[in-house]
Amino acid sequence: MIDRLIRFVALPSLLASYLAGVIQLTDYSSRPSAVATNVVWSDVESLVAEVGGDTNVTTILFFYQPGCPCTVASARSLQRACPLLNTPYQIIAFAYLPEDAPADWIDTRTSETLLRISPIKLIDDAQGMIAQSLGITTSGHCLVLAPRRGGIFSGGLTSLRGHEGTGPSLTQFIHSINDASEPLSEWPVFGCSISSTL
Amino acid sequence: MDSASSRNNLFQTRYQNECRWVNRLMARLMFGQWILGILFALFWTPLTWIGSTSQVHIHVWGAIIAGGALSGFTILWLKTFPDAAHTRHVVAVAQMLWSAMLIHLSGGRIETHFHVFASLAILSSYRDWKTLVTATITIGIDHFIRGVFYPLSVFGVAAETPIRWLEHVSWVLFAVAYLVPSCRRHRSEFKELCDRQTELEIAKHTVDQQVDERTQELVQINQLLRKKTNEAEKLAMVARHTDNAVSITDAQGKIEWSNEGFTRITGYSAEEALGRQILDFLHCSETKPEIVKTMREAFRHGDGCNLELVNRRKNGELYWLATEVRPIKTIRGDLNRFIVIDRDISERKNVELSLAQAEQQLRSIFDNVPGAFYRRYLHRDDKSIFMSRWIERITGYPADEFVVSDASESICHIRRRSHLDFIHPEDDARVRKHIETSIQQRGEFSIEYRIVDKNENIRWVWERGKCVDNCDEDPLIDGTVFDITERIEAEQENQKLHQELLDVSRRAGMAEIATGVLHNVGNILNSVNVSASIIRKQLEDSPIDKLERISGLIDEYEGDFFAFVKDEHRGRLVPEYLRRLKDSMQEGRLDMITEFSDLVSNIDHIKAIISVQQSTAKCSGLVQKLDVHDVFRDAISANKASIQRDKIIINQQIDECVPVFVSDKHRILQILINLIKNAIDSLRESGVPSPTVTVTATCTDEWMILSVGDNGVGIPPERLARIFQHGFTTKKTGYGFGLHSSANAAKEIGGVLTGFSDGVGCGATFELKLPSTEASLNESIDHETICITGERAYE
């Protein structure tokens, strides 16, 4: 009886659980959180100026939730892409800071990775108000504002959730910055939600 | 089982064990991967965030559920099919799926791909190249599907070419190409190792078998040796410590060895005997020469012999010796030496001598006892194995003709006599049946019967015997036969005399009855005579002559009698005279009526005595209700004349508790009249101033006691014991019958008559105890002798 239970119930059930888990994981990895298509670039420019950024160089704005594990891959993709940029640039990272955040809220692997990129400016985004003002809702969302070109890139740098490999968005990110003729491109973002109201 | 089969079996067994070990390793690996996956998930992606709120990351759940399902599936498969070949392939597939999942979760990191190669190396532990093929196929399919349709998952980058998966598979094949031969080689080495081990085990088994066989042989030899050694030690012990003298000589009879028994019996030490001829120690001057010769011949010819002889010890003491000479020969039959075993049989010889003397005495006793003793088997045709010589006196045939010499002879039915052959034909069936019945019950039998002896004389014998168990063999019968002819003849003569005596006794009894009748009637006749005399005197003294005188006056004055009466003086006296005459006649008439009444009563008593005496032979009497007052009155009345004549005072005392009782009145009267008459006689003889007879009646629970006592001459103590004997009397005119018959009468009615006296001049008292209960009646019967002899008086 037990042998039949194992053969015809337990083993198929376990196999089915495995398959279901794999499918779920694959689905989770492949499904983007959001696509920001309504970014007001003038607000972005104002923001750059407001936070003390140089509006004469290409500015990369990186919004992230410090605790999001998927955004680590986005930060590393950014870190890997920066040496490939052939125009001056500055990076301003906005770290989502909730109201009752602990003191070490920002001390995460994502922040560490970003701080290794130069030049970069890390700004606390209290309650995600800045990101919210720009319509940014997903951690890992990257905006690129080029002088005189305006916004040239909006979206995530990874092709899958937590995926560090060279993907189309990262390639486009580099092309968009290096090639002045590249139009604005928008990509899906894979990461945690910045807005608590989402 | 041949060698190849053994090798194959060993290989299969050991490879199976090896696979089980790898299975356990893979199960632990699966479990470890699951735990590591969970830990990695908890480390890298513990939480997912929505603003400031977080929840467990789906990777953690994925690691727990999907990883757990895959590892659980594999472990369960390993447990369910531990020895199946497909288990190894399932493990290979599962391990490759683990690799694929990890590659996917790591975003196709190249480092994670090493998991595939590590897994292949681990799978090669099975030493089964097919497992590697399954793993390769699995990972190839995975890489093909994901490389073509989902390259980011497996390569981490968008594939530039759809055949990049082939590169990965090629590297896998590269590794497998090395691992497969390696597996095959390891498997071959493993198999070769098994073959060698099998050969070694076969060789070891062969050697072990040979060792076992040799060991077994050695053990058996050792046991045999130990057994022989023990036997030899025991034999040596026996030879050394036996009471017998044991000597070993050479072929010429010279002593080579002797034991302690030799010294003990002969008195010579072993050192003294060593080297000397054994014959020197086996005879003396008293030994019969023929025995010495026999021994000498035995030693000379190398023969054995057993002899009993007289010998002397070293100290000169004479003793009996039983010697056994045994020649010891070699295998070829040559005489090697002698063993001489001597045994001191003096005690046995003495016992035999005593036994012979005892047997002689017993036989003499048997032969002189006036009876034949025999012993015979129960089921062997009545033949005896022993018969004493007295049987010849009984049957006329010697005892030897009755005895079978041994059991075999009795079985062979050699013709021998049996004392049962002489049974008189008329008694034969009865005797045999009686004996057979008694023996069947294992009891004793005793029977008298007639035999017909050798001279055709009929003799009476008394045979008695009993069956004796014979230790599970045929039981024996021990018996004696006595000639009782003289006794039987004496008994017959005695019986004849007894019959004559009975006739005489009958006549004597008749005389005794007659005497009793006469005695008792005589006692009553005294009273009858007295009454008759009184009546006669009354009649003689009758005033009838006076009536004649009055009649004469009437005749004389016939004419004027009234005037005579009226006028004359004499005439006036006539009426007074007639009145006195009437009173006198009336008084005499009353006396006569009384006397006539007593006379009638006594005559009735005489009739009753005669009736009782007539019925004595029938032992029965007339039983009626009695009042003790009436009984005492009648008894006293019967002796009235003597009482009146001797002016004896009658003191009568009757307890109120004395009831009306049932008994034979005339026997009781007979007893009481006798006792009162004896008392009167005693009082008359003593001449005491106030002679008194005391009659009393008392009652206990069991007895009613009627006693008659007097203050007369009494009875001397030495005569008390005899007063109830027939013919014994203390009176000058007595016959010694009264008390005897009274005691008998008391016994006949269930009573006891006893006498008491304190001696001469002290008077005597006799008690008649009559039973008032049945128990008392029985007791009185038990005291029959006492009541007759009067011994109760001394108690």
> Does B429 share its domain with B525?
no
Q: What is the CATH number of the domain that holds B756?
A: 3.30.565.10
pLDDT for res A198: 43
pLDDT digits (tens, 9 = 90+) for B319-343: 999 999 989 988 888 888 899 998 8
pLDDT for res A103: 86
How close B161 comes to chain A (CA, Å)? 14
Taking CB atoms and an 8 Å limit, are B50 and A198 in contact across chains?
A: yes
Q: What angle do CA B277, B282, B283 make, to 5 degrees?
A: 115
How close B62 comes to chain A (CA, Å)? 6
Q: Are strands B476-483 and B624-626 parallel, antiparallel or unpaired?
A: unpaired
Give kind and range of the element (H or E) at residue A8: none
- Residue A175: CB partners within 8 Å, gap ≥ 6? A182
DSSP string, B223-292: HHHHHHHHHHHHHHHHHHH-SSEEEEEETTSBEEEE-HHHHHHH---HHHHTTSBGGGGS--TTS-HHHH
Domain boundary among B449, B483, B517: B483
pLDDT for res B784: 42
Q: Which two tokens stand for residue B507?
A: 């006549």
Taking CB atoms and an 8 Å limit, are A193 and B44 in contact across chains?
A: no
> Does B516 share its domain with B426?
no
pLDDT of B28 higher than 90: yes
Which of B114-118, B199-203, B684-688 tops mean pLDDT?
B114-118
Amino acid, res. B372: A
Q: Which two tokens stand for residue A197?
A: 């109201």
Taking the domains of chain A in order of start, what are their residue ranges? Answer: 1-30, 34-186
Residue B232 lies in a domain: no
Neighbours of B270 (CB within 10 A): 14
pLDDT of A135 higher than 90: no
B64, closest residue in chain A (CA to CA): A21
pLDDT for res B237: 80
DSSP string, B154-222: HHSS--SSTTHHHHHHHHHHHHHHHHHHHHHHHHHHHHHHHHHHHHHHHHHHHHHHHHHHHHHHHHHHH
d(CA B714, CA B764): 5
Band of the pLDDT at A122, cuts 50, 70, 90? Answer: very high
Band of the pLDDT at A176, cuts 50, 70, 90? Answer: very high
Residue B687 lies in a domain: yes
Q: Which residues of B fall within a CB distance of 8 Å from A17? A: 65-66, 68-69
Interface of B with A in 60-99 (CB under 8 A): 61-62, 65-70, 72-73, 76-77, 80, 97
Chain A interface test: which of B73, B74, B101 (most A C-beta within 10 Å):
B73
pLDDT for res A111: 93
Cis check for the bond before A12: say yes or no (omega within 30 of 0). Answer: no
DSSP single-letter state for residue B370: S
Chain B interface includes A197 (CB < 8 A): yes
Q: Is the dihedral of CA B44, B50, B56, B59 positive or negative?
A: negative
Task: Compare CB distances from B54 to A26, A67, A195 and report the shortest one's residue.
Answer: A67
d(CA A58, CA A62): 13
pLDDT for res B787: 36
pLDDT for res B790: 34
pLDDT for res B202: 85
> Does B427 share its domain with B542?
no
Taking CB atoms and an 8 Å limit, are A11 and B48 in contact across chains?
A: no
pLDDT for res B795: 28
Chain A interface includes B43 (CB < 8 A): no
Domain that holds residue B749: 622-794
Taking CB atoms and an 8 Å limit, are A7 and B80 in contact across chains?
A: yes
Taking CB atoms and an 8 Å limit, are B47 and A69 in contact across chains?
A: yes
pLDDT for res A35: 63
d(CA B255, CA B253): 6
Task: Compare CB distances from A163 to B51, B58, B156 and report the shortest one's residue.
Answer: B156
Give Cα A147 to chain centroid, integer Å. Answer: 22
pLDDT of B617 higher than 70: no
> Does B177 share its domain with B303?
no
pLDDT for res B522: 78
- Mean pLDDT along residues B65-85: 90
> Does B681 share its domain with B783?
yes
How close A157 comes to chain B (CA, Å)? 12
pLDDT digits (tens, 9 = 90+) for B91-146: 999 999 999 988 888 888 888 899 999 999 999 988 889 999 999 999 999 999 98
> Does B691 share its domain with B769?
yes
Task: Compare CB distances from B73 to A15, A22, A193 and report the shortest one's residue.
Answer: A15
Q: Which two tokens stand for residue B639?
A: 């002796």
Average pLDDT taken over every residue of chain A: 88
Residue B110 lies in a domain: yes
Cβ–Cβ < 8 Å for B420, B432: yes
Give kind and range of the element (H or E) at residue A180: none
Band of the pLDDT at B568, cuts 50, 70, 90? Answer: confident
Chain A interface test: which of B97, B106, B157, B160 (most A C-beta within 10 Å):
B157
> Does B583 share its domain with B673?
no
- How many domains, in total, are found in chain B? 5
d(CA A10, CA B427): 108
> Does B375 share its domain with B346?
no
pLDDT for res A52: 85
A128, closest residue in chain B (CA to CA): B51
Tell which residue, B382, B337, B389, B341, has the closest CA to residue B363. B389
Taking CB atoms and an 8 Å limit, are A165 and B152 in contact across chains?
A: yes
pLDDT for res B793: 33
Band of the pLDDT at B696, cuts 50, 70, 90? Answer: very high
How close B67 comes to chain A (CA, Å)? 7
DSSP single-letter state for residue B476: E
Chain B interface test: which of A14, A23, A130, A197 (most B C-beta within 10 Å):
A14
| Burial class of residue B326 in the structure, from the number of CB atoms within 10 Å of its CB (0-12 exposed, 13-18 middle, 19+ buried) | middle
Question: Dihedral through CA A169, CA A171, CA A172, CA A177, nearest 10?
Answer: 130
d(CA B256, CA B277): 10
Q: Which two tokens stand for residue B389?
A: 């010589």
pLDDT for res B194: 85
Q: Which two tokens stand for residue B617?
A: 């032979």
Task: Give the CATH superfamily of A34-186.
Answer: Glutaredoxin (3.40.30.10)
Band of the pLDDT at B622, cuts 50, 70, 90? Answer: low
Chain B interface includes A170 (CB < 8 A): no
Tell which residue, B29, B11, B125, has the closest CA to residue B75. B29
B61, closest residue in chain A (CA to CA): A21
A22, closest residue in chain B (CA to CA): B66
- pTM of the predicted structure, to 2 decimals: 0.44
pLDDT for res B783: 47
Average pLDDT taken over every residue of chain B: 84
DSSP string, A32-69: -SB------HHHHHHHHHHTT--TTSEEEEEEE-TT-S
Residue B606 lies in a domain: no
Task: Provide the angle, in degrees to the nearest 10, between the axes of the packed helices B85-105 and A11-30.
Answer: 20
Give alpha helix (H) positions in B325-460: 346-368, 390-395, 407-411, 425-440
Residue B419 lies in a domain: yes
Residue B267 lies in a domain: yes
Tally C-beta pairs within 8 A across A and B.
123
d(CA A94, CA A124): 6
pLDDT of B241 higher than 60: yes
d(CA B435, CA B477): 10
Q: CA B327 → CA B90, B283, B305, B438, distances in Å?
A: 91, 19, 9, 58
d(CA B402, CA B419): 7
Amino acid, res. B466: K
Q: Which residues of B fall within a CB distance of 8 Å from A98? A: 51-52
- Mean pLDDT along residues B573-594: 84
Residue with tokens 């025999």: B374
Q: What is the CATH number of the domain that holds B320?
A: 3.30.450.20
ipTM value for the complex: 0.84
Least confident of B307-316, B460-469, B523-532: B523-532
> Does B333 share its domain with B396?
no
List of long-range contacts for B729-737, beta carbons under 8 Å, 24+ apart: B731/B678, B731/B681, B731/B685, B735/B515, B735/B519, B737/B515, B737/B516, B737/B519
Least confident of B136-140, B276-280, B695-699, B716-720: B716-720
d(CA B756, CA B743): 14
Q: Which residues of B fall within a CB distance of 8 Å from A194? A: 51
pLDDT digits (tens, 9 = 90+) for B375-428: 887 776 677 888 888 888 889 988 888 888 665 554 455 567 888 889 999 888
